[in-house]
Structure 1
Amino acid sequence: MALLNVSVSIKIPQKPPLSLPKPLLLPNPQLLPLYPHRHSTHQQLACTSTKQPLQEFAKTSFLALLSATLFFADPALAFKGGGPYGAEVTRGQDLTGKDFSGKTLIKQDFKTSILRQANFKGAKLLGASFFDADLTGADLSDADLRGADFSLANVTKVNLSNANLEGALATGNTSFKGSNITGADFTDVPLRDDQREYLCKIADGVNPTTGNSTRETLLCN
């Protein structure tokens, strides 16, 4: 009896070697120019992160330039907040007897200033503020006072002949007692009843600039 010699070869599978994750390597900034495909993503991220701030900066710069252009182009804006005498120089000051005749003082700030016997004859004072100022004996004849603020101001014995006060403010304890208002235009000036009554007793003349009768602008009966 012959014996069969059978050899069986069994292959045991081997486990694959462990592979560690590769470390994340950041591109070397010095080598980026040599490998443009490797830093394109970084460039896109950088552009995206800086695009919005750059747009805001450009917008702000444009608005600032536009504001500056308008400021110097419009004479009325050029004198806002202090006029040709500098910011706040004429506010809260003793300017007794000061000569401002014929000057352009648009939106000039004279708040709380002492302006006794000051000369504003023929001055352009559109939107100027005389809030709580003392104008006793001042000369405002022929002055352009449209939109000026005389709230709480002392306007006694003031020469307002032929002055244009259209739209001026005269609220509070503003007093025009003893003032010359011949030819003055008080169109749309809010006045206390007692002040309107007093001014109507002395109102006379026609404003040479507007052609309006002083009595009519005061709504005198």
Structure 2
Amino acid sequence: MALARTQRSAVRPATSRRSVRVQALLTPGQLRAAACATVATSLLAVAGPSLADLNTFEYDAGGEFGIGSAVQYGEADLKGRDFSGQDLRRSNFTSADCRNASFKGSNLQGAYFIKSVAYRTDFEDANLSDVLMDRATMVEANLKNAVMQRAVFTRSDLKDAVIEGADFTNALLDKPQIMALCKYADGVNPVTGVSTRKSLGCGGQRRYKASSPSNPDGPQVQEDEKEAFRATLPTYRK
């Protein structure tokens, strides 16, 4: 009998009286949280090498979504910066201050300018197709000859923007903004051959409806443009 008591004492966990008292004071929820924290710490210790390999892979892929042209400028101070002639597809300029910056002739297809400040920013001859410029400030921005097909300008301010030769085909703009731009819209885009007034739907409700993205009979994306967009997608596996 004495030997059995000794064996039971040997296999009993070594728990101090103080830890037992602390556990008795904790609620079941607190005990579960403490257990989860312990498990998470253990998993992080095991996953360390795997996370390092993943980070190396993402670095080698280059840029966001594996696109080397994608750069991050979210909330950055870019006043007066020169980005002219650069490949900036899918780059992030969300909430960035781009006042008086130059993107002249740059490829910004699929970039993000949500809530950005683009006061007097130069986008002349730039490719702004599929750009998200929701709630952006584009007062007096230079959009001369820019291609802005399928771009989103909802709740954006384009007051006194230069739009001569700009192509807004299938772009989303608030109707009051379209009416304001149609008062002085003019020119033909040198790349697409589309007149600015036609791309905005100026001149009547029928034309406005025909150019809306939800209308299957309106202007459609060309196959060569689709192929060019697919070519920018990353290839992780073959």
Q: TM-score, normalised by structure 2?
A: 0.58
Q: Which of 119, 131, 144 lines up with 1:136 in the alignment? A: 119
Q: Which of 186, 191, 207 lines up with 2:189 in the alignment? A: 207
Using the alignment, how far apart are the partners of 1:110 and 1:212 within structure 2? 28
Using the alignment, how far apart are the partners of 2:68 and 2:150 within structure 1? 20
User: Which runs of no fewer than 5 residues in structure 1 stay unpaired?
Assistant: 1-63
Using the alignment, how far apart are the partners of 2:110 and 2:159 within structure 1? 23
Residue 159 of structure 1 corresponds to 142
Q: Which of 157, 175, 183 lines up with 1:175 in the alignment? A: 157
Query: Over alpha carbons, which structure has the higher Rg?
Result: 1
Count of aligned positions: 148
Deviation at 1:191, TM superposition (A): 1.1
Deviation at 1:76, TM superposition (A): 8.5
Q: Deviations over 1:171-211 (max 9, x none)?
A: 1x201101100000000111111100001011000000000
Question: Does the 8 A contact of 1:165 with 1:189 survive in 2?
Answer: yes
Residue 55 of structure 1 corresponds to none
Question: Does the 8 A contact of 1:152 with 1:174 survive in 2?
Answer: yes
Q: Deviations over 1:94-125 (max 9, x none)?
A: 10000000000010000000000000000000
Residue 148 of structure 1 corresponds to 131
Of Structure 1 and Structure 2, which has the larger fraction of its residues in helix? 2
Q: Which of 112, 115, 126 lines up with 2:95 in the alignment? A: 112
User: Which runs of no fewer than 5 residues in structure 2 stay unpaired?
Assistant: 1-53, 204-238
Q: Deviations over 1:111-151 (max 9, x none)?
A: 00000000000000000100000000000000000000110
Residue 48 of structure 1 corresponds to none
2:78 paired with 1:78 = no
Question: Does the 8 A contact of 1:79 with 1:108 survive in 2?
Answer: no
Deviation at 1:216, TM superposition (A): 0.2
- Percent identical among aligned pairs is 37
Deviation at 1:77, TM superposition (A): 4.2
Q: 1:127 to 1:94 in 2, by over 3 A?
A: same
2:37 paired with 1:92 = no
Q: Deviations over 1:16-63 (max 9, x none)?
A: xxxxxxxxxxxxxxxxxxxxxxxxxxxxxxxxxxxxxxxxxxxxxxxx
Residue 170 of structure 2 corresponds to 188
Amino acid at match of 1:78: I
Using the alignment, how far apart are the partners of 1:76 and 1:161 within structure 2? 30
Deviant stretches of 4+, over 2 Å: none
Question: Does the 8 A contact of 1:166 with 1:187 survive in 2?
Answer: yes
Q: TM-score, normalised by structure 1?
A: 0.62
Question: Does the 8 A contact of 1:120 with 1:140 survive in 2?
Answer: yes
Deviation at 1:79, TM superposition (A): 3.4
Using the alignment, how far apart are the partners of 1:79 and 1:162 within structure 2? 26
Using the alignment, how far apart are the partners of 1:134 and 1:151 within structure 2? 11
* Helix, strand or coil at the partner of 2:83: coil
Using the alignment, how far apart are the partners of 1:76 and 1:211 within structure 2? 32
Amino acid at match of 2:197: R
